[in-house]
Structure 1
Amino acid sequence: MKYDLIIKGGQVVFRDDVRHVDIAIKNGKISAIAEMIEDTATDIINAEGQYVMPGMIDTHVHICEPGRTEWEGFVTGTKALAAGGTTSYVDMPLNALPATVNRGALRSKLEAATGKNYVDYALYGGLVPSNLENLAELSDEGVVAFKCFMSTCGSDVPDDFVNVDDYTLYAGMKKLAELGHMLSIHAENALITDRLGEEMVKQGKITATDYVASRPIFTEVEAVKRALFLAKETGCKLHFVHISTEEAVEEITKARNEGQDVTVESCPHYFTITTAQFEEIGPVAKCSPPLRNEEEQEKLWNKLIEGKIDMLTSDHSPCPPEMKHSDTNNIFEVWGGITGCQNNVDLMFDEAVLKRNVPVTDFVRMIATNPAERFNMPAKGEIAIAKDADIILVDANQSYVVKKEDLYYRHQHSPYIGREIQCRVTKTFVRGHLVFDLAQGIVGQPVGQFVTHHAKETAMV
């Protein structure tokens, strides 16, 4: 057979092992895997000395188009994803305008996305107090999951996203359980964190450390426990986003062991930046939940090593530089979101696989296999015959320093600038199309396609 592409000689990461094999690709799919495949292909890639892995599926990305394209658009955002080794992503229902909370808004989002994505994409629908009657139509339109905030969010801008109250959370869970959909939750106690923040500012406590103190660990844990209780009552499937604390992970693990259908993600910044480093780096490292101290970070690492964290995601939440500035140096005034999706794979491969000896198969499950299964992308997430040829090459023998000029974001700021990383993504393929090459940069035109949910969702075990 004449193949479109053969990737030869790499250390290929499968579900349970790593093998030195060749991969052949035809019509965007993985067509053959063998120790030696004859060189009958249009293109041949020599991957000797590199890991060959399924591309990351980043299930937590904020592309702000339409409405706030000046923050981040599909073109710039997905160039950064591709350069970082991500081959598919799920777009959050905020921070675009209008928020993706009804059919019209979703169709506006899809229209804006057409022809601009360098990687494949799926969409979240939002759960807000005003759209309980719109959940079914969002499901019909193909969203892969729903998202809500238990912490305060939104603005006075029309059509912006807002957080749920407890009734909306309960009623939304009931409806989503009927629809067979999963609800992803930003879990922090809104009333307590808001009041603690107000008190800090009144007292003139406006540093990064003060901000972290205004969102203590128990406010995350309490919200997680409340959501788990309501989900148990309603039968709703849950996914907790960007969990930052060991205790919250343990509560989720306990609920899963007791039979609840629940998963958990965390993000690179919670494993690589501490509160003290946040003080040094400044506003570009502000996020919520906040970055924790070194002791708590090490506890979170233990949970990852134990296999209790299902997925790694970026929570890429970009904004213009002026939104990261305060004339009074008041950290509470600046935008809370980290621009970071270009350094998901390399940063965490370095920190987890190279520095802490996390098996590379476990790493691949967290960035690709588990997200594909949980978010119903059956053609993606692993290197196997008939799967989409979403493949990345990672060289563990290269190191580099993150530089502003190498970032593809619309606004080139990131808390990782200046950081040395001991590995490098060298190529990214989306359904067999080369979209990023270390020597060439972004390659070709956007090839990303919309991925919709499937009727029968299989819970991840």
Structure 2
Amino acid sequence: MTFDLLITNATIVNADGAVRASIGIEDGTVTALLAPDAVVPDAVRTIDANGLVAIPGGVDGHCHAEQTTGAYRSLDTYASTTSAALRGGTTTIIDFGIPDGTGQTPIEALERKIHLVSENGARCDVALHGSVITWDDSTSAQLERMAELGVHSVKMYTTNRGSTMSDDDTIVRVLHEMVRLDGLAYIHAEHDGIIHDRTTACADRGAIGIEHLHESRPEISEDASVREILAVAEYTGAPVYFVHQSTPAAVDAVAEARGRGLNAFSEVCPHYLLHDESVYSGLAPEKFACCPPFRSSSDVAGLRARVNRGLVDTLSSDHTSYDLAQKREHSDDVRHMPHGLPGAGTRMPAGYTAMVVEEGLPIEDFVALFSANPARVNGLHRKGAVAVGNDADIVLFDPEERRVVRASDLHQDSDFSPFDGMELAGWPRYVVSGGHVVVDAGEFADPGPVGRYIGQAPFSERPGITRPASVVARHAVSA
């Protein structure tokens, strides 16, 4: 037997535990896990992983590429977004087909993105979520077509009136359709009425610039919207996934709903674990224009505590490639700024630093958040674990290595990072994606346009989120 790639002396950490083994790879698939004392077979290339940790390649369930929102278009392509993701240890991204506001239908938006994956040279695998803004007589058939294309998740926004916001009737109808079509509803949950009232009040007193973003979108707007959507989910029986939760109360609401038997999931982003609202009084507040905004230091501590308790399912970047010129064009009025931060290339080190280094989270639990759970909840069966038969998506890293973040080193289409100047741990030394060595001793080795569009399994065919043993043990202690 001759492998295409052999990784020897590997300490493999999956969400369910760690083993010592060598990893044999053929045709982009893990085909063997060999005991440490096994005879080392031949391979076209061998990487010695001694001293490194091997984890499954990251799955970023919430990533925006080539996106148009209102007057702004992100500056990236699939080639550049996926290259940045690979450099940061993410080997699969899940993007969104969101109608661009020009009359584009949900299915047109989705089919365009499927086309762009190959047309614009994705470097790693890409799955997609659909999106519905306004229900009409064609929506049901469009959702059926999405399911035929392997898209079994649909995103809706409860805010952003006049652009991406879905009204209550649309949300109820789409959740009914998710039950019928065996899908999952992705929800951006902020209460639009509260936000509109608060931003109007802020504008009336001249406090509507970026330095006041956190005042214009209060915590209660997120908490109220999450509970409202959970009620609709309970009424319809639909599973729901809440993106970028930023408050402890929002996470608690989802956990309570799970306790009542709902299929409900919480996602956090690394930036909400490493920064608080004080960033808006700094020298460059434009670097932190995102929705929801950053919260108080006590909220950050509470969010971290809930991740540690196993109440959060996934860690996503919510990556969007705007630059500072776009951010600063309307930084005097947050109602007209483009919101969103680059993060595909820093999701692993930022999340690892916040939760493993600073909070003591076991690496197994980090793997669950970073890779295993996003793969499971999104129906990507060959992702999320270093296991025989899975895609050969593997990250090797030195847990002790630290690097200072500089946007210029990230090779992304944004000229800033929300982590500029911070020293982070958890940077990949080697990244294998679909059997290709794409980060080689810390250097990017462009594999070319090898990324595939991949479909999701229906929701009923997705394995449940498995809480790692370390989480179960901590629950027992706290009880």
Q: Is the structural similarity TM-score above 0.5?
A: yes
Distance 1:198 1:18, change over 3 A: same
The yes-or-no answer on 1:72 pairing with 2:76 is: yes
Q: Distance in 1 between matches of 2:408 and 2:232?
A: 46
Partners of 1:249 and 1:369 lie apart in 2 by 20
What are the equivalent positions in structure 2 for 1:61-460 lying under 5 Å apart?
61-64=63-66, 71-94=75-98, 101-114=105-118, 116-130=121-135, 132-133=139-140, 134-152=142-160, 155=163, 162-208=164-210, 210-280=212-282, 281-326=284-329, 329-455=332-458, 456-458=460-462, 460=464
Partner of 1:24: 24
Match of 1:158 in 2: none
TM superposition shift of 1:96:
5.9
**Given residue 316 of structure 1, which amino acid in structure 2 is its aligned partner?**
H
How many residues matched? 455
Query: Partners of 1:99 and 1:58 in 2: how far apart?
Result: 29
2:270 and 2:354 in contact (8 A); partners too: no
Counterpart contact for 2:99–2:131, Cα < 8 Å: no
Tell me which amino acid in the other structure corresponds to 2:65. I
* 1:210 aligned partner, one-letter code: H
Question: Alpha-carbon deviation of 1:311?
Answer: 0.2
Change (3 A) 1:197 1:438: farther
The alpha-carbon deviation at position 92 of structure 1 amounts to 1.7
Moved more, 32-41 or 234-243: 32-41
Residue of structure 2 in register with 1:6 after alignment: 6
Q: Relative to structure 2, which stretch is displaced further, 368-377 or 19-28?
A: 19-28
Is residue 121–residue 448 contact of structure 1 (8 Å, CA) maintained in 2? yes
CA separation of 1:429 and 1:296: change in aligned 2, threshold 3 A: same
Corresponding residue SS for 2:464? coil
Q: Which amino acid aligns with 2:237?
A: G
Taking the aligned partners of 1:53 and 1:149, their CA distance within structure 2 comes to 33
Give the match for residue 469 of structure 2.
none
- Partner Cα separation in structure 1 for residue 285 and residue 181 of structure 2: 43
2:103 and 2:403 mapped to 1: Cα distance? 38
Residue identity opposite 1:142 in structure 2? G
Offset, 1:207: 4.5
Inter-partner Cα distance in structure 2 for 1:118 and 1:13: 25
Match of 2:295, SS state, is coil
Q: Distance in 2 between matches of 1:42 and 1:249?
A: 47
Does the aligned pair in 2 maintain the 1:211–1:332 contact within 8 Å? no
In 1: Cα distance, 2:154 partner to 2:431 partner: 28
Supply the AA of the counterpart residue of 1:15. Answer: A
One-letter amino acid of the structure 2 residue matched with residue 129 of structure 1: T
The structure-2 alpha-carbon separation of the partners of 1:328 and 1:296, relative to structure 1 and needing over 3 Å to count, comes to: closer
Paired amino acid for 2:125: D
Contact 2:12/2:20 (<8 A) preserved: yes
Secondary structure in 1 matching 2:338 = coil
Specify the code of the residue in structure 1 equivalent to 2:361.
Answer: V
Residue 98 of structure 1 deviates from its aligned partner by 6.8
Deviation at 1:35, TM superposition (A): 2.8
Alignment partner, residue 473 of structure 2: none
> Runs of 5+ in structure 2 lacking a partner?
466-479
Instruction: Report the Cα offset of residue 249 of structure 1.
Output: 0.6
CA distance in 2, matches of 1:63, 1:368: 20
* One-letter amino acid of the counterpart of residue 126, structure 1: S
Residue 49 of structure 1: how far off its partner (Å): 1.1
Given that 1:54 and 1:382 are in contact with CA atoms closer than 8 Å, whether structure 2 keeps it comes out as: yes
Q: Work out whether residues 54 and 390 of structure 1, in 8 Å CA contact, stay in contact via their aligned partners in 2.
A: yes
Q: Distance in 2 between matches of 1:400 and 1:54?
A: 21
Matches of 2:428 and 2:20 in 1, distance apart?
19
Identity of aligned residues (%): 27
Seen in structure 2, the aligned counterparts of structure 1 residues 439 and 265 have a Cα distance that, compared at 3 Å, is closer
Measured against aligned partners, the alpha-carbon deviations of 1:380-405 in whole angstroms (never above 9, x if no partner) come to: 10011111111011211221111122
Give 1:436 shift: 2.2
Distance across 2 between alignment mates of 1:245 and 1:100: 34
Contact kept in structure 2, 1:61 and 1:316, CA below 8 Å: yes
Deviations 1:154-203 (A, max 9, x none): 64xxxxxx211111111111111111100010000011102211210121
Deviation at 1:153, TM superposition (A): 5.4
Q: Which runs of 5+ in 1 are unaligned?
A: 156-161
- Name which of structure 1's ranges 313-322 and 296-305 shifts more when overlaid on structure 2: 313-322
Change (3 A) 1:460 1:305: same
Residue pair 1:54, 1:381 contacting (<8 A) in 2 also: yes
SS at match of 2:385: coil
Rounded Cα–Cα distance in structure 2 between residues aligned with 1:428 and 1:154: 42
Measured in 2, the distance between the counterparts of 1:5 and 1:454 equals: 29
Runs of at least 4 residues off by over 4 Å: 65-70, 95-101
2:431 maps to amino acid: T
Distance 1:92 1:111 in 2: 13
Which residue of 2 is the match for residue 58 of structure 1?
60
